[in-house]
Amino acid sequence: MEIPQKMRAMLMEKQGQPLELKRVDVPQPGPEQVLVKVHTCGVCRTDLHIMDSDLTEPKLPLILGHEIVGSVVKKGQNVEKFELGDRIGVPWLGYTDGTCKYCQRGQENLCNHPKFTGYTIDGGYAEYTVADQRYCFPVSDTFGDVEAAPLLCAGLIGYRTYRLAGEYKDRLGIYGFGAAAHIIAQVAIHQGHKIYAFTRPGDTKSQEFARSLGATWAGGSDTPPPDELDAAMIFAPVGSLMVEALKATAKGATVVSGGIHMSDIPSFPYRLLWEERQFRSVANLTRQDGEQFMQLAPQVPVKTQTQPFPLEQANEALDQLRDGEIEGAAVLVISEE
């Protein structure tokens, strides 16, 4: 395949301003890297947090995007995991040092020297990207290019959040019913759990969407659920929801924040935490999470709801995500095959 010298990319020159369409050099893969022709790239809330300077240390200029589906078009000399033409997914976790105490004890998501796709290394809002083969996953043929993109972050982070929600989650609350929630709700229901979906008050469209996926109950986050929750996952970046969820839980429940950034959590009386309730966060993902989830998703099978946008309309996609206008997940379509 002919690989061009230049490519189109939506570039973030600085934080706090819209992305700009630019022609830039196609990157060259290093020894452990593959050059990926990007088919699709999901648009994630974290991209907004990077643009808005909630995350403070991006590479600049930066190509955002960490839910990449594409095909391998060139390989570095050490690449043996993939062949030319393989369709792969590139997630948020792009590199770890393998030597720090967290890597050594199997918590590479907490690595001291990580690199993140579309944040500290260039991502997928472009026609090509390079990625370290060791952090990429095969993508099941069950999924088309557009459907698969949201699995790579919304799905993976959703899955890690779900895992960390603990052993007991028969009645599982989900606060914020967007990209991550709509994927992991299907997994949870497939595994026999009941879903209680909480949306912005009055957002009957999202409540209807949650019910259509099999949620037992859906309502506004200001409404108490009909049953006590055994666990709750928070996917909206709203700290007060952590406390709202805690109020709705049964003894021994875990409340997990699945977000990378959240507004302050208000103080709350100790009695809400009493009886061994747990309050925790989730950071990044491990490769093991990725491998498990990418095998599980086609078994469910997860159906992702997507809203496609051309690469040039990345700013529009981000604006609509910010305004809560995206049902499911926004996906940039770059070279669908």
| Contacting positions for Zn ion (CB under 5 A) | 44, 46, 96-97, 100, 103, 111, 153
Contact 136, 75 (CB under 8 A): no
Q: For Zn ion, which is the closer residue by CB, 46 or 254? A: 46
List residues bridging with 47 in a β-sheet.
none
Q: For Zn ion, which is the closer residue by CB, 143 or 196? A: 143
In the DSSP assignment, the letter for residue 291 is H
H or E stretch at 298 = helix 287-299
Between strands 229-234 and 249-257, the pairing is parallel
Instruction: Give the CA distances from residue 202 to residues 195, 207, 255, 296, 320, in Å, rounded to whole numbers and listed in that order.
Output: 19, 9, 23, 33, 18
Q: For Zn ion, which is the closer residue by CB, 65 or 225? A: 65
Q: For Zn ion, which is the closer residue by CB, 111 or 181? A: 111
Smallest distance from the beta carbon of 121 to Zn ion, in angstroms? 14
Smallest distance from the beta carbon of 103 to Zn ion, in angstroms? 3
Smallest distance from the beta carbon of 138 to Zn ion, in angstroms? 20
Maximum alpha-carbon separation in the chain? 65
Q: For Zn ion, which is the closer residue by CB, 158 or 219? A: 158
Which residues, 6+ apart, have CB-to-CB distance to 8 below 8 Å?
21, 22, 23, 126, 127, 311
Smallest distance from the beta carbon of 117 to Zn ion, in angstroms? 9
Smallest distance from the beta carbon of 69 to Zn ion, in angstroms? 14
